[in-house]
Amino acid sequence: MTAPFASLIRFYLRAFYGFSDAARVPLPPGTAAGTKAARAKRILATIGLALLVILVVGDIGFIFGASYAAMYAALAPAGLQSLLLLNAAISAALIAFVVGFVTALSTYCLSPAEGSLLALPIGPRALFGAKFAMTYLADAALSFIMLAVAALVYGLGERPPVSFYLYAILVALASPLVPLALAYLLLVPIMSVSRFLRNRNVVLVLGGILGAAAALVVNFYLQNSLARAGDAAWIIANLAGPDTILARLGAVYPPAGLAARALAHAAAGRQLDALGAAALALGMGAAAALAVVLIFGPAYAASLPAFGEGRLKRIAKSDTAAYIERSFRRSPQLAALFLREWRLMNREPVYLINGPLVIVLFPVIIGITMAASPEAFAELEGVAHALGGGPAKALIAAALAAFLGTATSIAATALSREGRALPYLKSLPVSARSFFGAKLLHALVFTSIGTVLGAAAGAAALGLSVAETLAALAMALTYGTAFDLSALWLDTAYPRLVWETPTAALKQNPNAVIAILADMAALGGLGYLATRLSLGLGGITALYAGGAGLIALGLALFFPRYAEKRLGDIEL
Amino acid sequence: MIHLEALSKTYAHSGTKAVDGLSLDIRDGEIFGFLGPNGAGKTTTIKMLSGVLRPDEGRVAIDGIDMAQKPLEAKARFGYVGDNPELFTRLKAREFLNFIADMYRVPDDARCERIASLAGRFEIADALASPIGSFSRGMKQKLCLVASLVHDPANWILDEPMVGLDPQAAFTLKELMRSRAASGRCVFFSTHVMEVAERLCDRIAVITKGRVVFVGTLDELRDRRSSGGDESLERLFLDLVEDASGGRV
């Protein structure tokens, strides 16, 4: 038996991350799920997930590591290296607040059914405390990486005692507590007084927009840090001295100053001072979290039921006949299927933000990257030159276009998104060819939009000729078509149909992750291959567009038969 | 007319045999009730009958059209109300009904006329412009009922159709079932509500542990149980299931 509070945290974590206890629960012997093959599949999936986590953590760690290493190299000669720790503590707190606020908003009510938790014998403070804990665990990861990397960089240079690293872990865990408490301090009163915001759609859209904005801010911060990494004078001017932003933030936000002081004391071997500062930092964090949970728990719980309220728009009785007369019109079956795909994708905020909107978001991120470090343009030109000129520019534009066109996850989650509605769809007189044809068409529309946007951006950035632009477009479009068909095949073979929230169908769908990783690997591989082939623009276009076109044709020929059989086999 | 012949189904994932050699014939012009305890195999049978699940063995034919041979033609011959009304909550009711009508290729005039009539009878006509997500459970069920009749099918297959309906809607549904059967169409539905089956059905089948243990009229069931003619269907049902389960319900 688990205590209700711990059980509640586990429930929230499962709902948020899509965790399951499948690995722990013994499966009945003799069932398919209990066979060695099924177990091997689960182990493989776990290894895949672990690799992905390592990749993401390694990527983020590398970016922060490069930035902090440059900072240390600039500050150490002046004996100001401890400012690195203050910078990391403040940056971690700021990012924890931004990410924490967005996460707290997006997960304020995970599903309309969450209000039913109020019927359980759980106090409002326990309910809010569990939600706080869930958000904390999501939020702590990033600030933990930031502080851990900073401590490592500092430690490599200063050779501090082992206790320094223990304090680093302690302050890293304490770091998100105050920012998250502040986030909820703002959020709960806003949600309590605003009827408009207590709507899951509004929250999801707002959370998505703020999330995108936060990602852009973090991206700008990272790009800017990396761009200034080699500028020692700039680093000293902005980090050292009593009037710098760093010094002012350290003064107004004591937990960061205490965290940095604890680490500096620990590095210098002043254990008692380190313990005092760390205990104060942790105490402030815990007190802030506890105070927010205790004070705002009842208000949080009171605001939950409104998320489950429906808002029905009634037509006047006298108008219904006219409404029906003008609203019901016949469409061809394929058009109706396509329209259904379009509407269901674009009206579900989780799908929209992580699917079609990616086409808009990526160029904005690239734009910000370029704005933060304009020399990246020149680097791109340099890469093209290093690749031997010729079709290199067109290939870079094609890769950009292809990646943008295939980044929406529409095809890779096409069947999974049906979820429990699939049995109903299977009862309709619709052929697998039409059913999947509409899904492919839906994916191809966004692939085409992304490809054209990417090719246009690439052409503008690299100054491509019309012939080069058309070649890039041809390569990217054929690649995108082959990719969409492959991704659709993947999701048809291994759909994730049992889910409670749409997040699980798209964001937490392994097929989306596999597709995007395979996409990156394929584009990288094709780029490398191009450097070995030494073909002209015409030759490489014929090879890549022709090859991708042939693969797409082959998939299009064999997929319908497979899809029909597979659809019939799916048991739900 | 629905013909089920020696249907069997074992779920691949769990290894559970849900239906075992089930055969039934549901005639035109009758209301046929499909009764059984939870987990007896009712929904699995209905899913095989509606082409949602592929049987391991056996055959399904709708109006003589084999489901395995000509699935699209067979599916066009029935209207289906599944066990889950939580469908496409992001669509508006109008869009959902238009989509279903398009799947059955219903002409404009006919769809307008039927939707106006059915949505009116189930009292959801004024909510057609709203997203399905804003509907209550009962309203979603009513919408599924309207959608299942938008092509005026010869066969109507319903899985627990009374769940979530208010008394007025339940009355309307029963009236619709009766009128469709009276006009020579076939109505096949599963239910847990014995009173509904008792008052509505021309014939019933009782299924337990994947096997049909009785098919016939209520009078035939009473005769078979030698119950003297006044026992409720509920009592007869419980006795039947208890016998089939070896003395345990």
User: pLDDT tens for residues A339-398?
Assistant: 999 999 998 888 888 889 888 877 877 777 677 666 666 666 666 666 666 788 899 999
> A269 and A356 share a domain?
no
Interface test with A, best of B10, B50, B52, B77 (most A CBs within 10 A): B52
For A:324-363, CB contacts with B below 8 A are: 324-325, 327-333, 335-336, 339-340, 343-344, 347-348
Rounded Cα gap, residues A476 and A487, in angstroms: 16
Out of A330, A429, A571, whose CB is closest to B13? A571
Q: In the predicted model, is pLDDT for residue A29 greater than 60? A: no
Out of B52, B97, B129, whose CB is closest to A427? B52
Residue A23 pLDDT level (bands cut at 50, 70, 90)? very low
Contact B95 A343 (CB under 8 A): yes
Whether A244 is covered by a domain: the verdict is yes
Out of A30, A327, A336, whose CB is closest to B102? A336
Rounded Cα gap, residues A365 and A219, in angstroms: 7
Out of B87, B116, B127, whose CB is closest to A324? B116
> A302 and A339 share a domain?
no
pLDDT at A373: 64
Residue A308 pLDDT level (bands cut at 50, 70, 90)? low
> A152 and A235 share a domain?
yes
Residue A311 forms contact with B (CB below 8 Å): yes
pLDDT at A376: 62
Whether A500 is covered by a domain: the verdict is yes
Whether A317 is covered by a domain: the verdict is no
Residue in A with minimal Cα distance to B83: A424
CA angle A469, A448, A524 (to 5 degrees): 65
User: To the nearest whole angstrom, how far is the Cα of B96 from the nearest Cα of chain A?
Assistant: 8
Domain end: A308, A341, A363, which one?
Answer: A308
Q: In the predicted model, is pLDDT for residue A32 greater than 60? A: no
Contact B106 A330 (CB under 8 A): yes
Contact A421 B108 (CB under 8 A): no
> A271 and A386 share a domain?
no
Residue A133 pLDDT level (bands cut at 50, 70, 90)? very high
Residue A424 forms contact with B (CB below 8 Å): yes
Which residues have CB under 8 Å from A516's CB, separation 6+?
Answer: A407, A409, A412
The per-residue pLDDT of chain A, averaged, comes to 85
Helix runs in A311-374, H state only: 320-327, 333-347, 349-354, 358-372
Interface test with B, best of A428, A431, A499 (most B CBs within 10 A): A428
> A349 and A466 share a domain?
yes
> A438 and A502 share a domain?
yes
Out of A28, A332, A427, whose CB is closest to B75? A427
The long-range contacts involving A541-548, CB below 8 angstroms and separated by at least 24 positions, are A541/A391, A541/A394, A541/A471, A541/A474, A541/A475, A544/A398, A544/A475, A544/A478, A544/A479, A545/A471, A545/A474, A545/A475, A545/A477, A545/A478, A545/A479, A546/A478, A548/A475, A548/A478, A548/A479, A548/A481, A548/A482
Residues of B in contact with A336 (CB under 8 A): 98-99, 102-103
What the block records as the tokens of A480 is 């995108």
Whether A324 is covered by a domain: the verdict is no
Q: Which residues of A170-181 are buried (b: 16+ CB within 10 A; e: fewer)?
A: bbbbbbbbbbbb
Side-chain-side CA neighbours of A571 within 13 Å: the count stands at 16
pLDDT at A555: 97
Contact B116 A320 (CB under 8 A): yes
> A259 and A339 share a domain?
no
Residue A317 forms contact with B (CB below 8 Å): yes
- Lowest average pLDDT, out of A240-244, A471-475, A523-527, goes to A240-244
> A505 and A414 share a domain?
yes
- Lowest average pLDDT, out of A116-120, A410-414, A562-566, B121-125, goes to A116-120
Residue A429 forms contact with B (CB below 8 Å): yes
Average pLDDT over residues A473-498: 96
In chain B, the N- to C-terminal Cα span, in Å, equals 33
Contact A31 B15 (CB under 8 A): yes
Contact B134 A429 (CB under 8 A): no
Which residues have CB under 8 Å from A85's CB, separation 6+?
Answer: A150, A151, A154, A259, A260, A263, A264
Residue in A with minimal Cα distance to B16: A31
> A253 and A380 share a domain?
no
Tell me chain A's radius of gyration from C-alpha atoms. 27
Whether A319 is covered by a domain: the verdict is no
Interface test with A, best of B8, B56, B122, B126 (most A CBs within 10 A): B126
List for chain A the helix, strand, coil content (%; round to 5). 80, 0, 20
pLDDT at A378: 65
Domain end: A275, A308, A341, which one?
Answer: A308
pLDDT at A60: 79
Out of B51, B106, B115, whose CB is closest to A426? B51
Out of A32, A325, A348, whose CB is closest to B15? A32
Residue range of the domain that includes A182: 27-308
pLDDT at B227: 57
Whether A506 is covered by a domain: the verdict is yes
Residues of chain B scoring pLDDT < 50: 248-249
Contact B129 A424 (CB under 8 A): no
Q: In the predicted model, is pLDDT for residue A245 greater than 90? A: no
pLDDT at A42: 72
pLDDT at A24: 46
Residue where the block lists tokens 């761009």: A227
Rounded Cα gap, residues A270 and A251, in angstroms: 22
- Nearest Cα to Cα of residue A413 among A495, A334, A485: A495
Enter the ipTM. Answer: 0.94
Average pLDDT over residues A480-506: 93
Q: In the predicted model, is pLDDT for residue A402 greater than 90? A: yes
Out of A313, A316, A571, whose CB is closest to B12? A571
For A:369-408, CB contacts with B below 8 A are: none
Residue A426 forms contact with B (CB below 8 Å): yes
Q: In the predicted model, is pLDDT for residue A19 greater than 80? A: no
Q: What is the DSSP letter of B131?
A: B
Average pLDDT over residues A518-524: 94
Average pLDDT over residues A178-184: 94
Residue A209 pLDDT level (bands cut at 50, 70, 90)? confident
- Better-scored residue on pLDDT, A43 or A281: A281
Residue A162 forms contact with B (CB below 8 Å): no
Whether A323 is covered by a domain: the verdict is no
Domain end: A261, A293, A308, which one?
Answer: A308
- Lowest average pLDDT, out of A364-373, A432-441, A510-519, A549-558, goes to A364-373
Contact B14 A315 (CB under 8 A): no
Q: In the predicted model, is pLDDT for residue A30 greater than 70? A: no
Q: Would you say B9 and B58 are in contact if contact means Cβ atoms under 8 Å apart?
A: no
Contact A320 B128 (CB under 8 A): yes
Average pLDDT over residues A10-23: 69
Residue A571 forms contact with B (CB below 8 Å): yes
SS3 B40: coil
> A268 and A380 share a domain?
no
Whether A21 is covered by a domain: the verdict is no
Q: Would you say A9 and A134 are in contact if contact means Cβ atoms under 8 Å apart?
A: yes
- Nearest Cα to Cα of residue B138 among B169, B111, B106: B169
Q: In the predicted model, is pLDDT for residue A440 greater than 80? A: yes
User: To the nearest whole angstrom, how far is the Cα of A28 from the nearest Cα of chain B?
Assistant: 9
Contact B130 A314 (CB under 8 A): yes
| Structural domains in chain B, sorted by start | 1-77+155-216 (3.40.50.300), 88-152 (no CATH)
* pLDDT tens figures, A313-344: 889 988 999 999 999 999 999 999 999 999 99
Out of B91, B102, B116, whose CB is closest to A333? B102
Beta strands at B65-66 and B78-81: parallel, antiparallel or unpaired? unpaired
What the block records as the tokens of B39 is 């987990």
Residues of A in contact with B134 (CB under 8 A): 310-313
What the block records as the tokens of A153 is 């960089």
Residue A27 pLDDT level (bands cut at 50, 70, 90)? very low
Provide the number of structural domains found in chain A. Answer: 2
Residues of B in contact with A32 (CB under 8 A): 12-15
> A414 and A510 share a domain?
yes
Residue A33 forms contact with B (CB below 8 Å): yes
Out of A323, A423, A431, whose CB is closest to B82? A423
Average pLDDT over residues A518-536: 90
> A297 and A345 share a domain?
no
Residue A65 pLDDT level (bands cut at 50, 70, 90)? confident
pLDDT at A306: 76
pLDDT at A132: 94
The DSSP H or E segment spanning B111 is helix B108-121
